[in-house]
A and B are shown apart, each in its own frame.
Chain A
Amino acid sequence: MAEENDDRQFPRREFLAKVLQLPCSAAVVAVLGPLAVSAEASEDGSEASELYYGMGIQVDRCIGCGKCVEACKAENDVPREPYYFRTWVERYVIHNDGEVSVDSPLGGIRGFPPLEGESEVLRSFFVPKLCNQCDNPPCVQVCPVGATFKTVDGVVLVDSDYCIGCRYCIQACPYGARYLDPRTHTADKCTFCYHRIEQGLLPACVEVCPTGARVFGELGALASPLRRLMRMSPLQVLKPYLNTEPKVFYSKLDGEVR
């Protein structure tokens, strides 16, 4: 039953994921034996190759409180200044005359000021943004030294000991998800809190979200909340025409969001 929905959206990804991961996980299992199989993978009896992470964002649940932004900055030691964000929240206001205005004061970290002239507003909503952990990541493609790379579980990471700070990846990211860390002079971005998810924990932004707008999980695991979201809601990704194949999926996403 789940397969019907998923086949429509991820045949290529799943195929790629399996092709990529099978030899890798086989190698890991061979070397490390039972230790290598993570708790998550064995819990529901699924294969290690199903460790392929994604995030779902339920736009209609986000209240723009900015707790996710705050948690992300604290958890990942992101510079406090409002020019560096691993995740941020945008507010879209669609007016009666069709005009759209967008704002994200301080990345939404302290929430949003009340709207002025509310009678003219047709509708308004919040959209949390973060690195889309693309399956076909342009940032990885352009890195001249391979300092940014995709892990076997599908997360795009930056090796800050290797990055030369050329910033080509920042130019290549269609989503504005990357910044140059002013302290290390290397590129940085959301890691899905890799240090946490490795331990079986949730990313900080997901953990603190009071409304459950963010759903994190393994794309391949049959019984995960992410999988349920995928089954129940039509999902969209940002800028699908660029063929970056994001692994951050939005439900109830408005066409105005770019």
Chain B
Amino acid sequence: MQHLERLESAAEQISGFIYPNEIELHWGLLVVLYPYITGLVAGAFILASLEKVFKVKEVEPTYRLALLTALAFLLVAPLPLLAHLGHPERSFEIFLTPHFKSAMAMFGFVYAWYLMLVLLLEIWFEYRADLVKWGREAGPFKKLLYWLITLGSRDVSPEAVKFDDKAVHTITLIGIPSAFLLHGYVGFIFGSVKANPWWSSVLMPIVFLFSAIVSGISLVLLIYYVTTLVRRKQPDMTCLDKLASFLLYALIVDLSLEVLDFIHRLYESEESIGILSEMIVSKLYISLTIVQILIGTIGPLLILAFSRFSRLPTELKRVAYFIAALLVQVGIFSTRWNVVIGGQLFSKSLRGLTVYKLELGGIEGLFTSIGLLILPFVILYVLVKLLPPWEEDRPEASQGAAASGMTAD
């Protein structure tokens, strides 16, 4: 049996002593994907809310794109969890008979709230008037499709459009704490495990939140940059500059929190400090010190700070932002890896370290995970075709109405 062979080879690589039941590492790559993907969702939504609630007009070109990105990733978010379950067919029990004392039992409700009441509703109100207008000019099939999506609504009078704007504003207001809840909650799932000194920290939800904001902004920046190039348009440089600034600020907060956590642990020097230090300098050296901190945080931080506030030529600046955002993605992914996998590499006896054996095939394997990371982009492609987020696709009247709606606010 392949599974047993893997356990056997893991058992050979143990250093020190671990409890015999700990040889099997239970939360693998799929569980790494889950916080990574929900982080992207929460971050992209918070970026979108910058424009609506905090009136950061510069990032307007990314508003709709950010919403669609959040939706595409949110649709995929539960899949790695589902694939990881021993009995996926029983997963509905979380909804039917939730155990209210369990942090994990809340997943279904937080997820449903966020998907139904925040994202779908906001996107619906945001696109409704445009859909009606697109529907008028479209062929019969698309006409029917748009009609279905608008749920038969046809009213594009200024009052109706104004109501849409108000609705979007209100939903965004509710959406920000919801996005915080969605990802802070994921942090709580790990942070509340008192048995695990690597996870058990009150800072965990906050760290998750800020790394989510970092990852969301950088993802939308990447998608915006690539899609404008593919469409042979000039990226809006004020928008990119603003995105880069926010990315930089969020990175600084994120790094500060991580450093605080690190210093706090080191200074308190609890019982677990010996084994955790050993883990950091051995098993996690590459993924934590090199990838997460140097390549994924300090690197992009320096690139962003330098390119944002220096007089680089625009072309070069854009490339610098692109590279920084790409590095941030690598960094955030390894952050999730270091939390999830790192938390299982040491024994709860605090006497030894084990290894994680990544499978290639199989449902928990590398290929499944790569597929699950490509899937949101496929969904996003379909969403973008269906609901073009680009400025030039917006019907004339709606642009005017949206503009007047903004000034009216």
B93 at the interface (CB under 8 A from A): yes
Q: Chain A at the B interface: mostly helix, strand, loop or mixed?
A: loop
B149 at the interface (CB under 8 A from A): no
- With beta carbons under 8 angstroms apart, the residue of A85, A141, A176 that contacts B347 is A176
Indicate with 1 or 0, residue by residue over A179-200, a CB within 8 angstroms of chain B CB atoms.
1101011100000000000000
Would you give the shortest CB distance from A43 to chain B, in whole angstroms?
36
Known: A176-B19, A179-B24. A164 touches B90 (CB 8 A): yes
When distances are taken between beta carbons in the complex, the residues of chain B under 8 Å from A142 are 102-104, 193
A138 at the interface (CB under 8 A from B): yes
Residue from B3, B84, B94, B195 whose CB has the most chain A CB atoms within 10 Å:
B195
Indicate with 1 or 0, residue by residue over B91-132, a CB within 8 angstroms of chain A CB atoms.
101100111011111010000000000000000000000000
Contact between B86 and A163, CB atoms less than 8 A apart: yes
- With beta carbons under 8 angstroms apart, the residue of B20, B21, B87, B344 that contacts A164 is B87
Contact between A180 and B348, CB atoms less than 8 A apart: no
A82 at the interface (CB under 8 A from B): yes
State the CA gap A165–B30 with chains docked (Å).
14
- With beta carbons under 8 angstroms apart, the residue of B19, B97, B101 that contacts A141 is B101
Among residues of B, the one whose C-beta sits closest to the C-beta of A174 is: B195
Contact between A162 and B20, CB atoms less than 8 A apart: no
State the CA gap A182–B94 with chains docked (Å).
22
When distances are taken between beta carbons in the complex, the residues of chain B under 8 Å from A166 are 81, 84-86, 104
Contact between B97 and A186, CB atoms less than 8 A apart: no
Contact between A144 and B102, CB atoms less than 8 A apart: yes
Contact between A144 and B11, CB atoms less than 8 A apart: no
When distances are taken between beta carbons in the complex, the residues of chain A under 8 Å from B91 are 164
A83 at the interface (CB under 8 A from B): yes
Contact between A176 and B24, CB atoms less than 8 A apart: no
Among residues of B, the one whose C-beta sits closest to the C-beta of A107 is: B20
When distances are taken between beta carbons in the complex, the residues of chain A under 8 Å from B11 are 82-83
When distances are taken between beta carbons in the complex, the residues of chain A under 8 Å from B285 are none
B351 at the interface (CB under 8 A from A): yes
When distances are taken between beta carbons in the complex, the residues of chain A under 8 Å from B85 are 164-166
State the CA gap A129–B81 with chains docked (Å).
31
B263-320 residues with Cβ-Cβ distance < 8 A to A are none
Contact between B7 and A81, CB atoms less than 8 A apart: yes
B245 at the interface (CB under 8 A from A): no
**Inter-chain CB contacts under 8 Å: number:** 135
- With beta carbons under 8 angstroms apart, the residue of B3, B16, B27 that contacts A171 is B27
Known: A142-B103, A176-B21, A179-B24. A164 touches B94 (CB 8 A): yes
When distances are taken between beta carbons in the complex, the residues of chain A under 8 Å from B16 are 102
B350 at the interface (CB under 8 A from A): yes
Would you give the shortest CB distance from A72 to chain B, in whole angstroms?
12
Known: A138-B194, A145-B98, A178-B21. A102 touches B349 (CB 8 A): yes
B142 at the interface (CB under 8 A from A): no
Contact between A143 and B194, CB atoms less than 8 A apart: no
Contact between A173 and B195, CB atoms less than 8 A apart: yes
A258 at the interface (CB under 8 A from B): yes
State the CA gap A83–B19 with chains docked (Å).
9
Indicate with 1 or 0, residue by residue over B342-360, a CB within 8 angstroms of chain A CB atoms.
0110011111000000000
Contact between B349 and A84, CB atoms less than 8 A apart: no
A125 at the interface (CB under 8 A from B): no
When distances are taken between beta carbons in the complex, the residues of chain B under 8 Å from A163 are 86-87, 90
A253 at the interface (CB under 8 A from B): no
A128-145 residues with Cβ-Cβ distance < 8 A to B are 129, 138, 141-145
Contact between A84 and B196, CB atoms less than 8 A apart: no
Would you give the shortest CB distance from B183 to chain A, in whole angstroms?
18
State the CA gap A182–B26 with chains docked (Å).
12
State the CA gap A143–B99 with chains docked (Å).
7
A68 at the interface (CB under 8 A from B): no
When distances are taken between beta carbons in the complex, the residues of chain A under 8 Å from B348 are 173-176, 258
Among residues of B, the one whose C-beta sits closest to the C-beta of A129 is: B19
B171 at the interface (CB under 8 A from A): no
Known: A166-B104, A182-B3. A146 touches B27 (CB 8 A): no
When distances are taken between beta carbons in the complex, the residues of chain B under 8 Å from A25 are none
State the CA gap A163–B97 with chains docked (Å).
12
Contact between B193 and A172, CB atoms less than 8 A apart: yes
- With beta carbons under 8 angstroms apart, the residue of A138, A171, A185 that contacts B87 is A185
Among residues of A, the one whose C-beta sits closest to the C-beta of B196 is: A171
When distances are taken between beta carbons in the complex, the residues of chain B under 8 Å from A186 are 86-87
Known: A144-B99, A145-B93, A173-B195. A164 touches B86 (CB 8 A): yes
A170 at the interface (CB under 8 A from B): yes
Would you give the shortest CB distance from A242 to chain B, in whole angstroms?
6
Chain A residues packing against B (C-beta within 8 Å): 81-85, 88, 90, 100-104, 106-107, 129, 138, 141-146, 162-168, 170-180, 182, 184-186, 242, 258
Other CB < 8 Å A-B pairs besides A144-B99, A171-B344, 6 of them?
A101-B17, A145-B93, A145-B99, A145-B105, A166-B81, A180-B86
13 A-B residue pairings within 8 Å (CB atoms): A83-B4, A83-B23, A101-B17, A104-B17, A138-B194, A142-B102, A144-B102, A144-B104, A145-B98, A163-B90, A173-B195, A173-B348, A179-B24
